[in-house]
Amino acid sequence: MKYSRKQISKAGEKLLTSKSNLEIEEALNLISDWRTNHLHPLVVLKNNLLRLLTKNNIEPNLVSQRLKRLTSIQYKLDLNPSMGLGGMQDIGGYRAVLKDVRDLKKLRDALSDQRINHKLERITDYVKNPKDTGYRSIHFVYKYSSIRDMFDGLKIELQIRTKLQHNWATAVETAGIITKTSLKSNQGPDEWLDFFKIVSSLFAIKEKLPIMEEHKDFTMQQLMVKCYEYCKELNILTKLKAIRVSTNKIESDNFPGDYYLLNININEMFVNIQIFNKNQFEYATSEYLKLEKSINENENAVVLVSATSIKTLKKAYPSYFLDTSEFIQAIEKMNSNCVELKYI
């Protein structure tokens, strides 16, 4: 069904402000249906990306897609109510993670130059100009064009980043579980926020990219020492190692599926996975909404994602499994170098 921006924004307002359970239920159903409309454009644009990668001989570390969680939608509306739900551009999102900056720039240029039927509305380069949190990625927002009203005009967001930048972002989301705050939105304990900013600059130095503006007067040695001290003071690496979750599926299992519905129980450190093929998408989205309505957002997180196997699922979405092993390895190596070079 086709929804106007006014209809969607009004449903978003009801979700945030209504005291009527019936109104909230109606708003949730409308938003869920509108969110589901984003899947077809998402698949089309992701397939276009895969063809572009092949054409330019770029081997991605991973390519993934997801529909935004209701809790994430509500949180974003709370942070910026003037935007309105109709103005949200990442309801349908897909991502490419590249092995290095060279491939990242190559893909950025290919995406900027390509000619497709869908309008490229905006490019935001957070690699060149990182967010205040230290977040780095390049975002492309597309306006989908279709003869079918329900798809025409929908916004889809693509994020491209390096593997190192992806490891940083995964660690920030996982650390948010530890601190029970939204570190990725620059909210939480100052020392944790500062630690991730410092690591962002250290990773930038490694990738020969601009460091955070607030670190421009710091040497690499000073940043390494500060990173080492925060790790010791806050026991960061031990805490990150302690919260990796288990699942009801194992990587070696051969589960032929197109969509995976993840229900993450934060208290029990367990992820329950339901698997659906592409013909079951309507059933998958109805189960998605059912779970979202039933969970306690302080104890659970639910998300519907696309992947080719359990193994690629874990690789594409390590934050949903609270897996920060690659980030930890990078920090441990830096801390070891800090000691060996006698910086401390």
Q: What percent of the chain clears pLDDT 70, i.e. is strictly above it?
A: 97
**Helix then strand then coil, % of the chain, to nearest 5:** 50, 15, 30
Compute the average pLDDT of residues 58-76.
Answer: 91
141, amino acid identity: V
Query: How does residue 254 score in pLDDT terms, banded at 50, 70 and 90?
Result: low
Compute the average pLDDT of residues 294-302.
Answer: 82
Helix (H, G, I), strand (E, B) or coil at 262: strand
pLDDT at 337 over 80: yes
d(CA 161, CA 236): 24
pLDDT at 253 over 60: no
Compute the average pLDDT of residues 149-158.
Answer: 96
Name which residue leads in pLDDT, 243 or 272: 272
Query: What is the structure's pLDDT at 82?
Result: 80
Compute the average pLDDT of residues 232-237.
Answer: 95
Note the pTM of the prediction, 2 decimals. 0.89
- In Å, how far are 126, 254, 310 from 303, measured between CA atoms? 25, 21, 15
Phi-psi region of 166 (alpha: psi -120 to 50; beta: other; left: phi over 0): alpha
Query: What is the structure's pLDDT at 311?
Result: 78
Query: How does residue 199 score in pLDDT terms, banded at 50, 70 and 90?
Result: very high
pLDDT at 252 over 80: no
| pLDDT tens figures, 280-291 | 988 999 999 999
Compute the average pLDDT of residues 332-338.
Answer: 97
Compute the average pLDDT of residues 103-113.
Answer: 98
User: Are 12 and 32 a contacting pair, CB within 8 Å?
Assistant: no
Domains plus CATH for the chain?
Answer: 5-161 (3.30.460.10), 246-321 (no CATH)
Long-range contacts of 111-115 (CB under 8 A, 24+ apart): 111/49, 111/52, 111/140, 111/158, 111/160, 114/52
pLDDT at 203 over 90: yes
Residue 169, burial from CB neighbour count under 10 angstroms (0-12, 13-18, 19+)? buried
d(CA 8, CA 73): 12
Helix (H) or strand (E) holding 230: helix 220-234
DSSP codes joined into one string, 116-155 = -SSEEEEEEETTTS--TT----EEEEEE---SSTTTTT-E
What is the gyration radius of the CA atoms in the chain, in angstroms? Answer: 20
Compute the average pLDDT of residues 261-267.
Answer: 86
| pLDDT tens figures, 79-104 | 887 888 988 999 999 999 999 999 99
Residue 305, burial from CB neighbour count under 10 angstroms (0-12, 13-18, 19+)? middle
| pLDDT tens figures, 308-321 | 777 788 887 887 78
Phi, psi of 330 (to 5 degrees): -65, -40
Query: What is the structure's pLDDT at 145?
Result: 96
Helix (H) or strand (E) holding 264: strand 259-265
User: Are 126 and 136 a contacting pair, CB within 8 Å?
Assistant: yes
For the chain, give the mean pLDDT: 91
Number of other residues whose CB lies within 10 A of the CB of residue 256: 8
pLDDT at 297 over 80: no
Query: How does residue 268 score in pLDDT terms, banded at 50, 70 and 90?
Result: confident
Name which residue leads in pLDDT, 312 or 44: 44
